[in-house]
Chains A and B, each alone.
Chain A
Amino acid sequence: MNKNKVIKNILSVSSLSMLALVISTNVNAASSSPIKQLSIPVVQQTELVSIAAPDYKIEQQAVHFSQKVFPKSQLSLQAHAYESISDEYWLEVTGEQLNKGLNLDISNPGALIRLSAKQIKNGSSVLGLAIDPSKVQLLKNNQVLQTPFKQTISQQQLATANVFPNSSAMQLDKSMGKGTFTLQVNQPLNVKQHYMVNVKEKNSPYKLHLSIAKQSYLAGEKITFNSFVNNTANKNLAKLTTNVNNAYIQTPSGEKFNVNLQKSNGKFQVQVPQSNLPAKRGALYELYVNSQANDKGIKIRRNAKVAFAIAQPTARLQSNFSVNGKAASINLNVASEGRYEVSGLVYGTSKNGTQLPIMISRSAYYLQPGEQVVQLKFDPKILAASGLQAPFTVKQLRLMDQSRMALLQQL
């Protein structure tokens, strides 16, 4: 029986995908190397999309590269959860609001307040619109507080670090304590000019936790996340009841979509809206959550965000493969013209039968739409130097769309 056909038959058990590709170094010859049974998980199949090739410069040559991996490497190329923890909040206000007086909730003594003039894209310059911190006063219960700030930082001082443009900041004296204060700017401001007000409460025990199950999704996939405010000074790290909780998603092109916060199985789920506006390659989506909670009469406000990517399914690894001693031949279904990389972790077998990693191999090609067969080439020098024997396996196979900087499959 033709060996390639055997492999094809084994792999065709699944019409969806594969986890490990078993290869033999001498499969082309009349080899007796056994081919191991494969473990084949079911992976959700997604409808491929046809997208025009990007108009920016993309490498056209096929490129292959292998990197030695140490046998004891504990690599995990699978998706990871991500958690953002926030001890701050921010809001957008107008110059008119700042002149009239803006209520700010302070939940930790010594908070830092940063005021930044906002520049609208393609709008006029905001230079000169920064607020002079000596013209800022703080009130509590309608009484002006004397020397409420431990330190004030002017626009000129902040500008020397080139970090916060058009900004000034004030650090509250800890003696001011907590509660609701009114911040009022006595410098005449353009009533329509927008400002960002950022309250940073470093070392505050009150934290907003925003976690996301993974940071890479295919279009159409639901995003699962969790969000809560807790008091880390509490021994039980008790979660606080949130009075206000809203969220939105910002696309790479800047569009914002409100998110309906409904829990399912204890977690929030959201279907990310499609955006047709052009965005730069590799830019990410962002999920923002704004929360308010109370703890013994203290109002706590927090904002947090996490970034994630959404890939358009422009190509897919097919389930039938053939192999030889130097490379794996991988079938791709390509729906969109572009540059694709296949990569995998190549394992060999030690004398005592243990499978150990040898190298990460990658091969990239510029491909046209249609059924394509590409070679994932291995480095024979690394293979020989490893001292490991057949059977070899390729695990953690990945397909990347380099043209659109997207992770398409990771198995």
Chain B
Amino acid sequence: MMKKITGILCACMLLSFSATAAKGLAFIHGTGNQTDAYNDYWTGDFVNTVRQGLPDSNNYTVINCDFDQYMWDNQAAGCLATQLTAFINDKNITDLVLLTHSNGGNVVRWILSNPTWDARYPNIINRVSKTIALAPSSLGTPLADAVNQGNVFESTLGWLLGYGSDAVKQQQTSWMAYYNQNWLQGTSGRPALPSTFKALVGSDVDSAIWDSDSYCAGYQYQVALETTQNWLDSCSDGFLNCSSQSGAGSVWFTDKQRTSGREPLSHQQSRRGCFNSDVIIRNDI
């Protein structure tokens, strides 16, 4: 009899725990100083599709920080920690999924790799179950090196690379090699990250004018991104080499393996849910 009561109590406690456990999702943008990333960076269509993968679709937050700064800056990782902590506390989040794009993956890796840097970091790290990194710039990009050739640009208007911001300096290839080797986890030979960090890799830019698929997320962007391929490998999304996108954590999949029509995802398209990628992400949350 006593055993039975104990068993019922245990079951109730487990049910009670699962009832209070809350899964949350944070959308974390890439390089740029965002004040309305919901509209300007992700678009509502993408956010509202992906968050349907949550048990409670209201448990999401869209981060707005100044990722023109170095990833460790208080306006970058510090701002991200502030907004994630507020989200965790407001929604009692116990299972946090992070969805990043581009340099947002580096800012997240900064927090995951430097738990003692900020007293708020351990509480965040302990709640993160996984990071889905869309086209993360884990090993930097030769384009960032090219942008910095002898130039001193102060404008920070760019959503993609910015114009010579600190974040762009940081994403130069030999700079990222130093940060990966000394301050970040998850790359080859380095300690693994404390939770899953899996990348969706964009492998090509399709800008043929007769191909209507080029128009997803803006045809004019595709033309420019094809130009930047001159600095990149044959496998790239127009901004990042596949090797950079695959450089930390694990590869979830490479675009053509799962997108509709086996279409590639350019750097612009990977944050806009093109070719059913939003549904694929939603189903993985």
Chain A residues near B (Cβ < 8 Å): 56-57, 59, 61, 63-65, 67, 69-70, 73-77, 79-80, 82, 84, 90, 92, 112, 114, 116, 118-122, 153, 157-165, 169, 171, 196, 198, 200, 202, 215-216, 254, 280-284, 286, 305-309, 341, 360, 362-364, 402, 405, 407
- Which residues on the B side are within 8 Å of A280 (C-beta)? 70, 166
Q: State A116–B163 Cα separation when bound (angstroms).
A: 12
Q: State A396–B118 Cα separation when bound (angstroms).
A: 23
Cβ–Cβ contact B220 & A160, under 8 A: yes
What's the nearest-Cβ distance from chain B to residue A225, in Å? 12
- Which residues on the B side are within 8 Å of A282 (C-beta)? 70, 72
Q: State A116–B143 Cα separation when bound (angstroms).
A: 14
- Which residues on the A side are within 8 Å of B182 (C-beta)? 215-216, 309, 407
With contacts A153-B227, A160-B224 taken as known, whether A65 is within 8 angstroms of B116 at the C-beta atoms is yes
Cβ–Cβ contact A121 & B116, under 8 A: no
Q: Which of B151, B192, B227 neighbours the largest number of chain A CB atoms within 10 Å of its CB?
A: B151
**Which residue from chain A places its CB closest to the CB of B140 in the assembled complex?**
A307
With contacts A57-B74, A158-B227, A284-B175 taken as known, whether A118 is within 8 angstroms of B117 at the C-beta atoms is no
Given contacts A82-B174, A153-B227, 13 further A-B contacts (CB under 8 A): A57-B74, A65-B122, A75-B190, A84-B174, A92-B150, A118-B150, A118-B151, A157-B224, A161-B238, A164-B147, A165-B153, A286-B174, A305-B174
Cβ–Cβ contact B181 & A79, under 8 A: yes
| 7 sample A-B contacts, Cβ–Cβ < 8 Å, listed by A number | A59-B119, A65-B121, A157-B220, A157-B224, A286-B174, A306-B174, A307-B174
Q: Which of B163, B221, B238 neighbours the largest number of chain A CB atoms within 10 Å of its CB?
A: B163
- Which residues on the A side are within 8 Å of B72 (C-beta)? 281-282, 405
Q: Verify if B1 is at the interface (C-beta below 8 Å from A).
A: no
**Which residue from chain A places its CB closest to the CB of B218 in the assembled complex?**
A160
Q: State A64–B125 Cα separation when bound (angstroms).
A: 13
What's the nearest-Cβ distance from chain A to residue B66, in Å? 14
**Which residue from chain A places its CB closest to the CB of B189 in the assembled complex?**
A76
With contacts A56-B74, A307-B172 taken as known, whether A163 is within 8 angstroms of B224 at the C-beta atoms is yes
Cβ–Cβ contact B194 & A161, under 8 A: no
1/0 per residue B227-257: CB within 8 Å of A?
A: 1101100000011000000000000000000
Q: State A164–B146 Cα separation when bound (angstroms).
A: 8
1/0 per residue B164-182: CB within 8 Å of A?
A: 0010010011110110011
Chain B residues near A (Cβ < 8 Å): 70, 72, 74, 78, 115-119, 121-122, 125, 143, 145-147, 149-155, 157-163, 166, 169, 172-175, 177-178, 181-183, 189-192, 194, 218, 220-221, 223-225, 227-228, 230-231, 238-239
- Which residues on the B side are within 8 Å of A364 (C-beta)? 116-117
- Which residues on the B side are within 8 Å of A202 (C-beta)? 230-231
Cβ–Cβ contact A196 & B150, under 8 A: yes
- Which residues on the A side are within 8 Å of B150 (C-beta)? 90, 92, 118, 196
Cβ–Cβ contact A59 & B152, under 8 A: no
With contacts A65-B115, A121-B152 taken as known, whether A161 is within 8 angstroms of B221 at the C-beta atoms is yes
- Which residues on the A side are within 8 Å of B190 (C-beta)? 75, 77
Cβ–Cβ contact B227 & A169, under 8 A: yes
Cβ–Cβ contact A200 & B231, under 8 A: yes
With contacts A82-B174, A307-B174 taken as known, whether A163 is within 8 angstroms of B143 at the C-beta atoms is yes
Cβ–Cβ contact A163 & B191, under 8 A: no
What's the nearest-Cβ distance from chain B to residue A271, in Å? 20
Q: State A73–B115 Cα separation when bound (angstroms).
A: 20
Cβ–Cβ contact A64 & B116, under 8 A: yes
Cβ–Cβ contact B228 & A163, under 8 A: yes
Q: State A164–B159 Cα separation when bound (angstroms).
A: 12
- Which residues on the A side are within 8 Å of B163 (C-beta)? 162, 165
Q: State A199–B121 Cα separation when bound (angstroms).
A: 44
Q: State A28–B41 Cα separation when bound (angstroms).
A: 57
- Which residues on the B side are within 8 Å of A405 (C-beta)? 72, 183
- Which residues on the B side are within 8 Å of A57 (C-beta)? 74, 78
Q: Which 6 A-B pairs have the closest CB atoms?
A: A161-B224, A364-B116, A65-B115, A162-B158, A63-B116, A307-B174
Q: State A275–B155 Cα separation when bound (angstroms).
A: 26
Q: State A309–B157 Cα separation when bound (angstroms).
A: 28
- Which residues on the B side are within 8 Å of A76 (C-beta)? 189
- Which residues on the B side are within 8 Å of A65 (C-beta)? 115-116, 121-122, 125
What's the nearest-Cβ distance from chain A to residue B64, in Å? 19
Q: State A116–B150 Cα separation when bound (angstroms).
A: 10
Q: State A2–B161 Cα separation when bound (angstroms).
A: 60
Cβ–Cβ contact B161 & A119, under 8 A: no
With contacts A307-B178, A308-B178 taken as known, whether A341 is within 8 angstroms of B173 at the C-beta atoms is no
Q: Which of B74, B223, B224 neighbours the largest number of chain A CB atoms within 10 Å of its CB?
A: B224
- Which residues on the A side are within 8 Å of B152 (C-beta)? 118-121, 254
Q: State A147–B232 Cα separation when bound (angstroms).
A: 26
The answer, among B119, B178, B218, for a CB contact under 8 Å with A216, is B178
What's the nearest-Cβ distance from chain B to residue A385, in Å? 15
- Which residues on the B side are within 8 Å of A284 (C-beta)? 175, 178
**Which residue from chain A places its CB closest to the CB of B120 in the assembled complex?**
A59
What's the nearest-Cβ distance from chain B to residue A307, in Å? 4
What's the nearest-Cβ distance from chain A to residue B247, in Å? 14
Q: State A91–B204 Cα separation when bound (angstroms).
A: 30
- Which residues on the B side are within 8 Å of A281 (C-beta)? 70, 72
With contacts A92-B150, A163-B160 taken as known, whether A341 is within 8 angstroms of B116 at the C-beta atoms is yes
- Which residues on the B side are within 8 Å of A84 (C-beta)? 173-174
Cβ–Cβ contact A360 & B191, under 8 A: yes
- Which residues on the B side are within 8 Å of A157 (C-beta)? 220, 223-224, 227
Cβ–Cβ contact A363 & B224, under 8 A: no
- Which residues on the B side are within 8 Å of A77 (C-beta)? 190-191
The answer, among A79, A112, A216, A362, for a CB contact under 8 Å with B230, is A112
What's the nearest-Cβ distance from chain B to residue A379, in Å? 11
Cβ–Cβ contact A162 & B172, under 8 A: no
- Which residues on the B side are within 8 Å of A67 (C-beta)? 115, 191, 194
Q: State A100–B70 Cα separation when bound (angstroms).
A: 41
The answer, among B155, B225, B231, B238, for a CB contact under 8 Å with A165, is B155
**Which residue from chain A places its CB closest to the CB of B144 in the assembled complex?**
A163
- Which residues on the B side are within 8 Å of A73 (C-beta)? 191-192
Q: State A407–B179 Cα separation when bound (angstroms).
A: 11
